[in-house]
A = this chain, B = another copy of it.
Amino acid sequence: MKESLSTIAERLGVSVTTVSRVLSGNAGKYRISKATEARIRAEADRCNYAPSLVAQSLRSRQTKTIGLLTPSLANPYFAEMSSVIISEVHRRGFTTIVIDTMENESNFNEGLTKLVARQVDGIIAVPCGQDHTMVDGVNSNFVPVVLVDRYYENFPLPYVTTNNYKGGYDATRLLIDAGHRSIACIQGVRTSAPNNERVRGYRDAMEEAGLKEFEFVAGNEFSIQNGYLETKLLLSRQLKPTAIFALSNNISLGVIKAIREAGLRIPEDLSLLSFDNYTYMDYMEPPLTRVGQPVEDMAILAAKILFDRIEGIAPGASQLRLSPTIIQGASVSRL
């Protein structure tokens, strides 16, 4: 059923070595005669031979595989990122093993272990949690790791991320410039560096505008539910904000749901500015004004850095922040 070098060698009455040398294109280098080469090639074609990547991997200690650890393929942000990474990996003749960590630190570490056991040649990861001992161990002892989106602050692991501070700052400025003063911010996971950078951008913009007293940050998850619940609380406060800055796509959906339930309209009664870009946001009611991350560029760069490391090329800078872009919708009103 399955052909191997030895089945071909036997049928042709030559050695496995010779077959291997011909089929791996080293016939010339080892002085295999044209005649023998032709016979071997013909037979390999006929029986549709394909080398076993498993055996090659064992021998060469290279699996031609990279691992991708992502928090959730169900989130369009990560799905798009994964899609680009997979195609970049494919372009280089490698394949991708995808592990969905479900935003869970122990799943993440388990996934890392699994990838190491499979001897992948490199790993691209969106980390979960703040403990970097495991990833760092893998990166320095076994296989190169490059982080995307999230990273560990003040820690020398290569990463590619959005300039989240700028995103947070610019977004908040946009709201302030539109006349808003009471701007609430609903955040995601507090152990996430991007989240904290966004918050820092928000705070700096507020303080710069002398709006420190209006600062308000709540929430703890990048989920629809978190956005929903925090908005519910927000709307029951004495001092209602005139604008909400939601730090992710999912959070925004929750915010919208709560606002609608309260019978309020966006942006007439309350303005909303979201992080993350997604086609569907143009079709929403109203189309969302948002801070888009350069997902594609980030994915491409992460792949490039990883493959440079795999090939032993010392990368230049390897902690990169790419600028976000503000995309105008109609969810922010001028006061």
Q: For residue A53, which residues in chain B have a CB less than 8 angstroms away from its CB?
A: 117-119
Of B51, B80, B90, B97, the residue contacting A117 (CB under 8 A) is B51
A106 CB within 8 Å of chain B: no
A residues lining the B interface (CB < 8 Å): 1-2, 50-55, 57-58, 63, 65, 72-74, 76, 79-80, 82-83, 86-87, 90, 95-100, 102, 113-114, 116-119, 141-142, 224, 253, 256-257, 278-280, 283-286
In the complex, the answer to whether B80 meets A1 with C-beta atoms within 8 Å is: no
B52 x A117 contact (CB < 8 A): yes
Q: A72 CA to B82 CA in the complex, in Å?
A: 10
Does A118 contact B54, Cβ atoms closer than 8 Å?
yes
The answer to whether B74 touches A63, judged by C-beta atoms less than 8 angstroms apart, is: no
Do A113 and B50 form a contact, CB below 8 Å, given A90-B100, A99-B95, A253-B279?
Answer: yes
Nearest opposing residue in chain B for A279, CB measure? B253
Are B284 and A280 in contact (CB-based, < 8 A)? Answer: yes
> B79 touching A98 by the CB < 8 A rule?
no
**How distant is the Cα of A280 from the Cα of B276 in the complex, in angstroms?**
14
For residue A2, which residues in chain B have a CB less than 8 angstroms away from its CB? 142
The residues of B that contact A54 with a CB separation of less than 8 Å are 54, 57-58, 63, 118-119
Give Cα A136 to B51, complex, Å: 21
The CA-CA distance from A25 to B100 in the complex, in Å, is 29
**Measured CA separation A166–B100 after assembly (Å):** 33
Docked-complex contact A80 and B86, CB < 8 angstroms: no
* Complex-state Cα separation, A83 to B75, whole angstroms: 10
Using Cβ atoms and an 8 Å threshold, which residues of chain B touch A285?
Answer: 283-286
Residues on B with C-beta less than 8 A from A142 are: 1-2
| Residues on B with beta carbons closer than 8 Å to the beta carbon of A87 | 100, 102
Q: Find out whether the CB atom of A99 lies under 8 angstroms from the CB atom of B119.
A: no
Assuming the contacts A50-B117, A118-B53, A256-B283, asked whether A95 and B95 have C-beta atoms less than 8 A apart, the reply is no
Complex Cα spacing A52 to B120, Å: 11
Residue of B83, B99, B280 touching A253 (CB-CB under 8 A): B280
Residues of B within 8 A of A280 (CB): 253, 278, 280, 283-284
Report chain B residues within 8 Å CB of A283.
Answer: 253, 256-257, 280, 284-285
Docked Cα-Cα span, A100 to B84, in Å, equals: 9
Q: Nearest Cβ distance between residue A231 and chain B, in whole angstroms? A: 14
- In the complex, what distance in Å separates the CA atom of A302 from the CA atom of B255? 35
Q: Does B116 lie within 8 Å of A50, measured CB to CB?
A: yes
Q: Look across to chain B and name the residue whose beta carbon is closest to the beta carbon of A284.
A: B283
Q: Known pairs A1-B141, A2-B142. 10 more at Cβ < 8 A?
A: A52-B117, A52-B119, A53-B118, A53-B119, A54-B119, A74-B83, A87-B102, A90-B99, A257-B283, A284-B284
